[in-house]
Amino acid sequence: MLLSWLLTLTVALALPLKGLGATEQKQVQLGKSVVLRCNISLHHEIFWLRVNRLERPRLLMVARLKNDGDFTEIWNYDSTHYEGCLVDKFIGLRILNVLINDLGSYYCGIAEGKRMEFEDGVHIYADMRDEKVTNYKEDIPIRPRVPEKRQSLYPVFASILGAGLLLMVLVVFIVQMITCS
């Protein structure tokens, strides 16, 4: 069951997520924890998905209630940073120590057979003018930095391609002049 669910979710993530629009906006403080609530029925396996501009959509957690009413996490992308919880009899997602990379839109959903259903979602953001945010900007790179050697190879590669193109145009011109004579 879990394998078919993950396969369905993988196929769905390959499709564009343009239709997903977070309706709730929630301001968070970096370094603090935040709890998001899913309003979908507890009779399903609930999955949490994060969408932001920095990376492709990421499945964070799959959770459900057992038959005896106990909460259980079926799968967790990073159990040291995300944990499932119950919020007013609904499944929630707790993000521990919010980082800049955590900012974005979160959606909970269910998958039943070939059908997927998403909640409206919540977009979490931080006030980037806050003095405390500057520490997090330095500690946690949003995008991996490209090593200096790779950056210096680009102009060399571009120069070689440009010289080759110029040489090709020159050869075509010379051949044209020889055949016209």
Q: What is the mean pLDDT of residues 59-86?
A: 90
The phi and psi torsions of 82 (rounded to 5 degrees) equal -125, 145
Give the span between the Cα atoms of 56 and 34, in whole angstroms.
22
Q: What percent of the chain has pLDDT over 90?
A: 40
Q: What percent of the chain has pLDDT over 70?
A: 74
pLDDT in tens, 9-28: 444 444 344 345 568 999 99
pTM to 2 decimals? 0.62
Choice among 68-72, 90-94, 144-148 with the minimum mean pLDDT: 144-148
More confident residue, 158 or 64: 64
List C-alpha distances in Å: 170 to 81, 156, 177: 60, 21, 11
Closest CA to 37 of 108, 125, 97, 96: 108
